[in-house]
Amino acid sequence: MKQILVDIKKCLACKSCEIACAVTHSESKSLIGAVLQDKKPRQRVYVEAGDGISFPLQCRHCEDPRCVSACMSGAMYTDDQTGLVANNPDKCVGCWMCVMVCPFGAITQDTEQKIAQKCERCVDLEEPACVMACPTKAIKFLDIDVFSKDARLQYLTNFHLKEEGK
């Protein structure tokens, strides 16, 4: 199963992923339509920076999700078919337990409905919007093993060039 994985060295903090994510969650799905609509759409990916790196963070759709364990209404669940973590808006009561236990801060508030909102990984799109929007291809949508193999090859190249660890 493909995952959203980030090449940390390549993120320039341009926030193109944030814009694309918000547009995907708008009525028209277009930038211009999204800007003109009354209730502004909100993104579910956040570019944060610290200690010399910047990084786009969104729900990691954990295998053993703390947010699901913490949810007392049964709103947050792992979808059997997609394997993705999702929030059922009809069941969510806005207690914010999920927000407190998420180690990534990937869950925020839908301020209108007063419920939790997070990345749904664009299940209707071929690739998540943030992945398509990333101009440096820092955000990737790959099988874990493919990403790991790329990392191993990169490590070997750097090892050969005596630049280990770079």
Partner 1 sequence: MKWENKSIDPAVRTMLGKADKDGIDTVWDRYEAQQPQCGFGLLGICCRNCIQGPCRIDPFGSGPQKGVCGAGADLIVARNLLRSLMGGTAAHADHAYEAVEALYMAADGLAPYEIKDENKLKSVASKLGIDTEGKDKNRLAKEVAETAFADFANHGSSPMKWLTATAPQERVETWGKLGVLPKNPDREIRTAMHQTSMGVDSDPVNLILSAVKLSLADGYGGLHLATDIQDILFGTPTPVVSEANLGVLKADHVNIIIHGHVPLLSEKVVEWARKLEDEAKSAGASGIQLSGLCCTGNEILMRQGVPLANNFLAQELAITTGAVDAMVVDVQCIMPSLADTAACYHTKIITTMPIAKMPGAEHVPFEIEKVDETAQQIVRMAIEAYKKRDPGKVNIPDEKSSVMAGFSVEAIVGALSKLDASNPLKPLVDNIANGNVLGACAVVGCNNAKVTQDASHIGLVRELLKNNVLVVATGCAAHALGKAGFLTSEAAEKYAGETLKAVLTAVGNAAGLNAPLPPVLHMGSCVDNSRIGDLVAALAGYLKVAVKDLPIAASAPEYQHEKAIAIGTWAVSLGVFTHLGVVPPVLGSQQVTTLLTSDPVESLLGGKFYVETDPIKAAAGIIAHIKSKRAKLGI
- The residue ranges that bind partner 1 (CB under 8 A) are 14-16, 18-20, 22-23, 31-32, 34-36, 40-43, 132-133, 135
Question: What distance lies between CA 125 and its chain's CA centroid?
Answer: 14
| Closer to partner 1 by Cβ: residue 91 or 114 | 114
Strands 85-87 and 76-78: antiparallel
Give the residue with the Cβ less far from partner 1, 20 or 97.
20
Of the pair 98, 133, the CB lying nearest partner 1 is at: 133
Per the DSSP assignment, residues forming a β-bridge with 46 are 57
> Minimum CB separation from partner 1 for residue 41, in Å?
6
Q: How far is the CB of 83 from partner 1 (least distance, A)?
A: 27
Q: Which two tokens stand for residue 22?
A: 């918000």
Within 10 Å of residue 135's Cβ, how many Cβ atoms? 10
